[in-house]
Amino acid sequence: MRTTPALKRALPVLAVLGATVVTPAPALAAGPADGFASVNALGQNGTTGGAGGATVTATTTAQFLDYIARPEPLTVQVRGTITLPTGTTDGMHPVASDKTIIGLGSDARLSGGGLNIGLPVDDDVTAPPANAVHNIIIRNLSITGATDDLINVQMFSHHIWIDHNDFSNGDDGAVDIKRGSDFVTVSWNRFHDHDKTLLLGHDDDNAAQDVGRLRVTYHHNYFDGSDQRNPRVRFGESVHVYNNYYRDNSYGVASAMNAGVVLEGNYFHSVNNPGRVDFSGDLGRMVQRDNILVDCNHAIETRGTVVEPRTYYPYTPHRAAEVPTVVPAGAGVGKT
């Protein structure tokens, strides 16, 4: 069974400086990253998060918001439930570059607001800026009840790894990736009690920022009754969707606006439309192989050719028949 390394327990405390608990530098998140988050590009050699920086533990909202916004590399451990305020805003809270945000145990939770990874929206910026947010790992957290997105990735953010989390009950997207973001992996997460799950590319008119970018790997995720957008893709190529378990969804993957999706080794059970290229806007492209469909109403739509993910990184998929066993056993929080 292919797994990520076990979550380590917090290391002994070396020093206490005010409210900041400092422990040895190695990040506690599993590594190394795989999929597109592992690719050496844009001046970043893979995704390492807060490695090389201090490790701190957040038990209050004030601590958490302080830590994730600091400019230096940092591993931020979350203990218990952190309630993110909404105030008079949309409740989205910025995460600075070079961060690992990781829950301790199986009950670490962010509730009420969401995480924003990226600079403020600017339609006039059409190439990655020097200060684009980058190198972030989010792992082993339950994120729920946001008034907007649970996680939003935007404005050319790159090298982001979202791994082994539980997503539910957001008001909009669970994990939205848009506006030129690139080199992202979304892996081993459970999505449930949620409608619009994964948006990749926010608008049919955003080609200037998105064409040639939005390279994302989605693997070993459990789409557990999450209704739609699992993911819904515009422009991105390659988008690699492999070894995910789909259960009771209105649709799985939609490719539009000439996006290029490789759909591989997934298991679809009771999904109305497992894969679509005729959706809305211009047609997308999709290549499919070794997928299993059970009690689905439509076949997977295919069209054209797509740049192979192995052009960028090596991987070894499970067989689709293994997915209903492997994915529920390994996806979500407190799993190894």
- pLDDT tens digits along 103-143: 999 999 999 999 999 999 999 999 999 999 999 999 999 99
Residue 30 banded pLDDT, cuts 50, 70, 90 = low
**For residue 181, pLDDT beyond 90:** yes
**For residue 304, pLDDT beyond 90:** yes
Mean pLDDT over each residue of the chain, to the nearest integer: 91
Q: Render 62-113 in DSSP notation, one character per residue.
A: HHHHHHHH-SS-EEEEE-SEEEPP-TTTT-EEE--SSEEEEESTT--EEESS
On whether the CB atoms of residues 104 and 139 are closer than 8 A, the answer is no
Instruction: Kindly report, residue by residue over 231-249, the tens digit of the pLDDT.
Output: 999 999 999 999 999 999 9
User: What integer pLDDT is reported at residue 2 of this predicted model?
Assistant: 42
Catalytic site positions? 229
Average pLDDT in the 271-284 region?
96
Single pTM value for the model: 0.91
**For residue 14, pLDDT beyond 60:** no
More confident residue, 9 or 263: 263
CA distances from 109 to 33, 142, 165 (A): 22, 5, 10
Average pLDDT in the 209-220 region?
98
Average pLDDT in the 287-299 region?
98
